[in-house]
Amino acid sequence: MPKLHLSRSIEIKSDLDTLYQVVADYNTWPTWSPWLLADPNAILEQFGAPGTPDSGYRWDSNVVGKGQMQHRQLQPPSSGNSEPSIDAKLVFISPWKSEGDVRFRFKRVAADTVEVSWQMDSSLPWFMFPFKGMMKSLVSMDYDRGLAMLKDLVETGSIPSSCQFVGETEHGPYQVVGLSGTCTLQEIGERMANTIERVKQHLPPSLAPSDQQWVALYHKFKLRKQIFDYSCGIILPPEQATPAGLQTYSIPHTKAYQITHHGNYAHLGNAWSAGMQQMRSNQLKANSKIAAMEIYRNNPEDTDPNEMLTDIMISMK
C-alpha cells in the first residue's frame, strides 16, 4: 500500500510540562483539532484516564469520517528524558480503512520556548495511490492549522477561530477593482496586506479606503506546491469607472456555499478546510471557473484582530 510520511513543527512559548500535558490529554483535542471543527455535531468518546497509556478518543461524523486514536507509549518530562515524546496508534474506519503511527516530539529551544513536532507514518488504500501527493499536501496543511491552534491555546488560553456554516446561497454579480498576485500559502498574509496597500495608493479621494467593501478573490490554487493566484480589491457599482492603475474582475451571479469565520485572519484556513469538507459531505461541487471569495465584513484598522468577521463564498456548480 502507498506509504505516507508527514512531519510538521512549531515553536510555542511554554514550559515542557504544560505543553506536554495539553497534547497528551485527549480531552483538549476537540479544542485544537484541525478536523473536528468541521463538524460541531461529531460524536466524540474519550476513554481511559487522561494522559495515560491506552487512553484515547473515538470520533464518528458524517463530515470527517469515523476512527480512533490511542496512546501507545508516553515519555513525559518527569521521566528525565531530555526530549519527551508521545506515540499513538491512529485507526481510520471511514471514509476508508487505514492505520497510522503518530508521534509528538518535544524539544526545548529556549528558556521559555518548546518546539513540538507532529509526525505520522501511514498507508493509503491502493485506489488512493494517484492522489498521494494531494493527500500529503492536504494533511500537511491540516497539521499546520492544528499546531497554530495549539500554540494559541497554550500561549493565550483560547483560540480566536470559529465557523458558522451558512450553507447554500447565492451571491453576485460583483465588479471588483484591484490588483493580482501569486504567492505560497506561507506568504499569503503578508503578500495580500502588501497588495491591499498598493490598491489604496490608486484609489481617488472619492473612494476612501475605510468606506469600501474589501474582498479577496482566489482564482487558482496549485495544491501540491501550495501556490495561490489571487486578487485583492474593492467592490464598485458596474457604472463606476475603474481607477487608473487597477484591474477589473467580474464575478457573475452564482450559487455558492458560504462559511462565516469569526476570529483572527491567521486562522482563516480553518473555515476554508471546514467548508470544503462540509461541501463534500453534502455532495456539493465547487465551480473552479468562478473565483472563490473572501468578503471582509469589518475594518482591521479599528477592530480587534481576534474579532474579525469574514464571509467565505465558494462558487458551486
**pLDDT tens digits, one per residue of 56-111:** 999 999 999 999 999 999 999 986 766 899 999 999 999 888 899 999 999 999 99
Percent above pLDDT 90 for the chain: 83
Residue 130: per-residue pLDDT: 56
Percent above pLDDT 70 for the chain: 95
Please compute the mean of the pLDDT values over residues 229-238 and round it to a whole number.
Answer: 95
pLDDT tens-digit profile of 12-29?
A: 999 999 999 999 999 999
Residue where a domain stops, chosen among 159, 182, 212: 159
pLDDT at 126 over 90: no
Distance, in Å, from the CA atom of 214 to the CA atom of 232, rounded to the nearest integer, reads: 8
* β partners of residue 68: 58, 91
Please compute the mean of the pLDDT values over residues 181-201 and round it to a whole number.
Answer: 94
Residue where a domain stops, chosen among 159, 189, 209: 159
Confidence of residue 132 (pLDDT cuts 50, 70, 90): low
**Do 9 and 38 fall within a single domain?**
yes
pLDDT at 311 over 80: yes
**Do 67 and 197 fall within a single domain?**
no
Residue 129: per-residue pLDDT: 52
How far, CA to CA in Å, does 214 sit from each of 61, 269, 300? 35, 18, 11
**Do 301 and 228 fall within a single domain?**
yes
**Do 207 and 271 fall within a single domain?**
yes
Distance, in Å, from the CA atom of 274 to the CA atom of 114, rounded to the nearest integer, reads: 29
The set of residues, in sequence order, having a beta carbon less than 8 Å from that of 77 and lying 6+ positions away, is: 16, 17, 20, 84, 106
Give the CATH number of the domain where residue 90 resides: 3.30.530.20
Domain that holds residue 36: 3-159
| Cell matching residue 1 | 500500500
Give the CATH number of the domain where residue 278 resides: 3.20.80.10
Please compute the mean of the pLDDT values over residues 251-278 and round it to a whole number.
Answer: 97
**Do 170 and 149 fall within a single domain?**
no
Confidence of residue 135 (pLDDT cuts 50, 70, 90): confident
**Do 136 and 186 fall within a single domain?**
no
Residue 1: per-residue pLDDT: 57
**Do 115 and 133 fall within a single domain?**
yes
Residue where a domain stops, chosen among 109, 132, 159: 159
If one counts the domains in the chain, the total is: 2
Check residue 202 and report its DSSP letter: H
Please compute the mean of the pLDDT values over residues 36-52 and round it to a whole number.
Answer: 93
pLDDT at 251 over 90: yes
Please compute the mean of the pLDDT values over residues 149-165 and round it to a whole number.
Answer: 97
pTM: 0.93
Q: Note if the bond before 209 is cis, omega within 30 degrees.
A: no
Residue 4: per-residue pLDDT: 84
**Do 14 and 121 fall within a single domain?**
yes
**Do 102 and 248 fall within a single domain?**
no
pLDDT at 142 over 90: yes
**Do 133 and 50 fall within a single domain?**
yes
The distance from CA 90 to its chain's CA centroid, rounded to whole angstroms, is 21
**Do 73 and 178 fall within a single domain?**
no
**Do 153 and 171 fall within a single domain?**
no
Confidence of residue 127 (pLDDT cuts 50, 70, 90): low
Please compute the mean of the pLDDT values over residues 275-294 and round it to a whole number.
Answer: 96
Q: 238, exposed or middle or buried, with CB in 10 Å at 0-12, 13-18, 19+?
A: exposed
